[in-house]
Amino acid sequence: MTDIQTFVNGVVDGKLSDAEVEEWMRDVYDNGLSVEGTVELTDAMLHSGAVLEWPNEWAHLVVDKHSTGGIGDKVSLVLAPALAACGLKCPMIAGRGLAHTGGTLDKLEALEGYDVSISTEKAHEMVRDIGCMIGGQTGEIAPADKRMYAIRDVTGLISSVPLITGSILSKKAAEGLAALVMDIKVGRAAFMSTVDEARALAESIVSTGEGLGIATRVTLTEMDTPLGFAAGNALEVLESVETLRGAGPADLEELVCIQGGILLHATGLCETVDEGAYRIHDSLIDGSALAVFEEMCVAQGAQSSSFESERNLLSALGLLDGALNTTEFAVPQPGWIADIDAMALGTVVLELGGGRLNLGDEIDPGVGFVLDAHVGSLMVVGETWITVYHRGELSPDHREIIEGSITLSNDAVDAESRIIEIL
């Protein structure tokens, strides 16, 4: 038995104190860990609990996606059903949001009745019959990570590449994956502020994933500006449905199609990533991805009537609540939108109740914002560029932050791809 295996065993069975666990992780934080060591650590963490197993006839089709999160990052809600519509199996174990980053589970819980607590038996049934599920982590999955992360969180040991890698991949590998795509956000509203930092984590994720026998790719994507038009839990579900209808924002659709194309190619269902991306796009246009999404939601407790009309969907998301107010903000001068500060707007959503500072905090699913324009849009004086959803009145401070989050240019601005690099 190696030192790493002994350490992980001690984490799980409680033979190591919090101080001893911290000491071991601090050594990794200070001195790093080899590629082989990171693989060994991740493997021990994932086998500290239950590992999902799938029938041999389609185990090679089991895939997932993970993101470091950002303002308006709703890719998972669209991608999972699109993957299923294209013949893959996606048992997506998602998380809750902290601060401004949002959380996939929080978004889906905005839909009346949706239950993120899925038993192992139910997960197997849904993945077999529907092709996907999106639920929360159970105590059976990677229990070593739960304790290690809690200690890292209070001791300043979060930003260690080997420990981040182990934390992410131990949970994802426990899903019994054949392939994984990881989306690492880069920018002022992202976990990684520079491309170099993101690339270092990406290389660790790829080498460790491959070392575990999982075909692993990483996309580095920009997170300076909000992704899509909507941010806030209920509003993001609404935009996800619009995207599943083939009418979503171009930047969101791009990430869904490329990341889906990567997974279709990795599993051998397409000869190229581009071919896979076109297949994902087709599933959004022809309604097959939307049909899977609705079936998944109903299987997890939502009412089928929620999807029968636009009004029913708005009602199921709580967006017809009479106590929910909207405030529009207009541009003060003409010009092209050169920048929208995602971090500033995300902070406002957090303070309005749309996010949480601690995992136990209650959130308000109805608050958030919808952009009426994006980077590259030409605006005229008085034209609305953002609509904010809130309770009561917006404070002067929030108004000031919102008004200051947009930058206009006298020169034309081109909207660029979100994708910085694929590793």
CATH code (residue 144): 3.40.1030.10
420 belongs to a structural domain: no
Residue 355's pLDDT band (boundaries 50, 70, 90)?
Answer: confident
5 belongs to a structural domain: no
- Structural domain including 360 reads 324-409
Output the pLDDT for position 1: 45
Q: Let me know whether 158 and 282 are in one domain.
A: yes
For the stretch 382-404, pLDDT in tens is 999 999 999 999 999 999 999 99
Q: Let me know whether 265 and 183 are in one domain.
A: yes
Output the pLDDT for position 208: 98
15 belongs to a structural domain: no
Residue 137's pLDDT band (boundaries 50, 70, 90)?
Answer: confident
Q: Let me know whether 190 and 225 are in one domain.
A: yes
Q: For residue 213, give both structure tokens.
A: 């026998």
Q: Let me know whether 187 and 64 are in one domain.
A: yes
Contact of 67 with 76, CB cutoff 8 Å: yes
Q: Which segment of 98-107, 312-321, 322-331, 357-366 scores lowest on mean pLDDT? A: 98-107
Output the pLDDT for position 2: 63
Q: Let me know whether 302 and 342 are in one domain.
A: no
1 belongs to a structural domain: no
Report, as an integer, the average pLDDT of 336-362: 90
For the stretch 49-80, pLDDT in tens is 999 999 999 999 999 999 998 999 999 999 99
Contact of 22 with 155, CB cutoff 8 Å: yes
Q: Let me know whether 387 and 254 are in one domain.
A: no
Q: Let me know whether 303 and 365 are in one domain.
A: no
Q: Which of 307, 341, 356 is the last residue of a domain?
A: 307
Q: Which of 276, 307, 338 is the last residue of a domain?
A: 307
Q: Which residues are catalytic?
A: 66, 145, 152, 167, 171
pLDDT above 70 as % of the chain: 98
> Model pTM greater than 0.85?
yes
Q: Let me know whether 89 and 146 are in one domain.
A: yes
For the stretch 167-200, pLDDT in tens is 999 999 999 999 999 999 999 999 899 999 999 9
Q: What is the CATH number of the domain that holds 354?
A: 3.90.1170.30
The arrangement of strands across the sheet holding 406-409 comes to 378-379, 335-340, 406-409
Q: How many domains does the chain have?
A: 2
Report, as an integer, the average pLDDT of 302-314: 97
For the stretch 92-120, pLDDT in tens is 998 876 666 668 999 999 999 999 998 88
Does 348 or 361 have the greater pLDDT score? 348
Q: Which segment of 90-99, 134-143, 277-286, 383-392 scores lowest on mean pLDDT? A: 90-99
Q: Which of 274, 307, 340 is the last residue of a domain?
A: 307
For the stretch 216-256, pLDDT in tens is 999 999 999 999 999 999 999 999 999 999 999 999 999 99
Output the pLDDT for position 115: 96
Residue 90, pLDDT > 50, answer yes
Q: Let me know whether 149 and 260 are in one domain.
A: yes
Q: Let me know whether 361 and 300 are in one domain.
A: no
Report, as an integer, the average pLDDT of 13-40: 96
Does 20 or 96 have the greater pLDDT score? 20
422 belongs to a structural domain: no
